Structure 1
Amino acid sequence: MRQIFIDKFLVPGKAKQEFKERVSINRNLIKNITGFIEDAAYERTDEHGNLVYVTTAVWESEAALKKAKEIVQAEYKQQGFNLVEMFERLNITMDRGIYNEAI
């Protein structure tokens, strides 16, 4: 069964550029992982000037999503990138969920 990985980020205005650069890196990485089907991104600016950014990534199965997470974490380690540190430094919040395709 397909797995849909949905993230919603709240990004302060001053952090938009760095955040979008990292999102671009991540989206390009996952597109080459076996089991990836498609992704999308949506954005708006809220009344406080924050970026509200939603991403979706569709995976062919739970196993494919699990393997993708492992690959992404290994790539972060190789790059010396720490997602938690970046989010703390830039005051970015994230709401993450994994959904099954509704029938």
Structure 2
Amino acid sequence: MTHRIYRVDKFVVPNQAREEFLTQVKNTHQLLKAQPGFIQDFLLEQPADSEEFNVITIVEWQDTRAIENARAAVMAMHKSTGFNPQEMFVRLGIKADLGNYKPINA
């Protein structure tokens, strides 16, 4: 039996970093949508205050194997383009809380 899995990432982004950050997120999600096992995604934002805002991305995957394969595809894309997410986070002052979640069965 396969169980759906959700990738939920929360970012606190300074206002001046918003455009560059969202460009990278949208590029990544274009790749994710083309991966086997992708079901749906959500890109959500909330103003935090006058200096920063919160972004949450949620991607629903068919199973653990699908999310692992997608992660490998994203890493390959980053390598081929020379993009380093951790460097961008530090450079732009972005705070991230990243993780995989599964449904709680009642």
TM-score category of the 2 structures, normalised to the smaller one: over 0.9
- Give 2:53's aligned residue: 51
Per the TM alignment, residue 97 of structure 1 is displaced from its structure 2 partner at its CA by 1.7
> In the TM superposition, what are the counterparts of 1:46-85 in structure 2 within 5 Å?
46-85=48-87
Structure 1 residue ranges without an equivalent (≥5): none
Mapped partners of 2:49, 2:82: distance in 1: 35
- Secondary structure at the residue paired with 2:34? coil
Q: Deviations over 1:23-55 (max 9, x none)?
A: 110111100001111000111111243110000
- Give 1:95's aligned residue: 97
Mapped partners of 1:41, 1:49: distance in 2: 20
Structure 2 residue ranges without an equivalent (≥5): none
Structure-1-length-normalised TM-score: 0.95
Aligned identity (percent) is: 35
Per the TM alignment, residue 18 of structure 1 is displaced from its structure 2 partner at its CA by 0.4
1:65 maps to a residue whose letter is I
* 4+ residue segments displaced more than 2 Å: none
Structure-2-length-normalised TM-score: 0.93
Per the TM alignment, residue 101 of structure 1 is displaced from its structure 2 partner at its CA by 2.1
After the TM superposition, which of the residue ranges 90-99 and 42-51 deviates more from structure 2?
42-51
Per the TM alignment, residue 67 of structure 1 is displaced from its structure 2 partner at its CA by 0.9
- Secondary structure at the residue paired with 2:51? coil
* RMSD between superposed Cα atoms in Å: 0.9
Mapped partners of 2:51, 2:85: distance in 1: 23
How many residue pairs align between the two structures? 103
1:5 maps to a residue whose letter is R
1:14 maps to a residue whose letter is Q
